[in-house]
């Protein structure tokens, strides 16, 4: 089952997001042809309570593999996260409809 994944919190900033993206993919934003296995949709931006990342993944396991192979090492390389690293929140996706513009 597809899952929504939300990362938000004090440690999630635009600067960190850009640095981590460049570390993982060599450019900002992430090129579509380099998107991780299992990623359906990726969004990030400024919200009322700070910077956020919201993704839809084929499964929670796909996201975990991405964390282990790409995201975790990139965060360590730039010295981000640590004790203040936010925990992802997961939401089951019961209905997923892609609009015509996608």
Whether residue 50 has pLDDT greater than 90: no
**pLDDT per residue as tens digits for the range 29-46:** 999 999 999 999 999 999
Domain membership of residue 58 (yes or no) is yes
Collapsing DSSP to helix, strand or coil, 28 comes out as coil
- For residue 24, what are its two tokens? 């993982």
Whether residue 27 has pLDDT greater than 80: yes
Domain membership of residue 100 (yes or no) is no
Looking at residue 82, its pLDDT comes to: 66
Give the CATH number for residue 36: 3.30.70.100
77: confidence class by pLDDT, cuts 50, 70, 90: very high
Whether residue 91 has pLDDT greater than 90: yes
Q: 3 and 93 in contact (C-beta within 8 Å)?
A: yes
Q: How many domains does the chain have?
A: 1
Domain membership of residue 54 (yes or no) is yes
């Amino acid at each position: 089952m597809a899952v929504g994944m939300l990362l938000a919190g004090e440690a999630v900033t635009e600067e960190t997001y850009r640095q981590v993206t460049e570390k993982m993919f060599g450019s900002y934003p992430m090129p579509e042809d380099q998107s991780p296995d299992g990623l359906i949709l990726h969004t990030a931006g400024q919200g009322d309570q700070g910077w956020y990342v919201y993704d839809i993944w084929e499964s929670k396991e796909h996201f975990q593999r991405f964390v282990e192979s790409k995201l975790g090492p990139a965060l360590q390389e730039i010295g981000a996260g640590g004790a203040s690293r936010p925990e992802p929140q997961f939401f089951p996706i019961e209905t997923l409809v892609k609009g015509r513009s996608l």
